[in-house]
């Protein structure tokens, strides 16, 4: 990964690597994590307040649609945007477009999770049967996609 300090470099003292790792851990835990949680919670709550608050199924369906369509549009536009906006073609324009892309994509990601989550909340009861069926369907889907190993991934497990 370009610019990554994940692998120790030759000639760098081990104490410096340990210090950088500790600072990275502290920055991630004390700054990045609370900011991400605040963003997700804010967008989720704003969508609850402003998108069909009296009709939870419609609100969840709209979030599902926004998440699905938004992801498809962003994936489709990614190559064209990467070709058109480069740091060599004007740094200010590149940074403005890349930050705007990130904010819009983050909004789409939150809605991509909010929609199915709220639909599941509305459509299921709070009993053991619903829990078992929902968990089994999710487990079967993960096994079918060969993605079960990703369940134990960062931030839960750091290898």
Helix, coil or strand: residue 153: coil
pLDDT by residue (tens digit) across 128-158?
A: 888 899 889 989 999 999 988 877 765 555 5
Q: Name the pLDDT band for 2 (thresholds 50, 70, 90).
A: very low
Pick 42 or 157 by higher pLDDT: 42
**pLDDT tens by residue, 71-117:** 999 999 999 998 888 888 788 989 999 999 999 999 999 999 999 99
Q: At what angle do helices 91-123 and 33-50 cross, to 10 degrees?
A: 60
User: CB–CB of 48/59 below 8 Å?
Assistant: yes
pTM of the model: 0.73
Percent of the chain with pLDDT over 70: 88
Cβ(112)–Cβ(70) below 8 Å: yes
Rg for the chain, CA atoms, rounded? 20
């Amino acid at each position: 990964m370009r610019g990554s300090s994940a692998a120790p470099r030759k000639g760098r003292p081990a104490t410096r690597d340990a210090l950088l790792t500790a600072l990275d851990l502290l920055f991630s835990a004390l700054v990045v994590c609370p900011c991400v949680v605040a963003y997700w919670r804010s967008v989720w709550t704003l969508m609850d307040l402003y998108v069909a608050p009296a009709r939870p199924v419609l609100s969840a369906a709209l979030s599902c649609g926004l998440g699905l369509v938004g992801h498809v549009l962003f994936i489709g536009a990614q190559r064209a945007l990467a070709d058109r906006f480069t740091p060599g073609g004007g740094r200010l324009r590149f940074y403005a477009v890349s930050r705007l892309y990130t904010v819009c994509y983050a909004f789409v990601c939150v809605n991509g999770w909010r929609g199915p989550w709220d639909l599941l909340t509305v459509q299921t009861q709070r009993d053991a049967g619903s829990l078992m069926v929902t968990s089994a369907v999710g487990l079967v889907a993960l096994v079918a996609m060969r993605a079960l190993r990703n369940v134990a991934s960062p931030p839960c497990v750091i290898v």
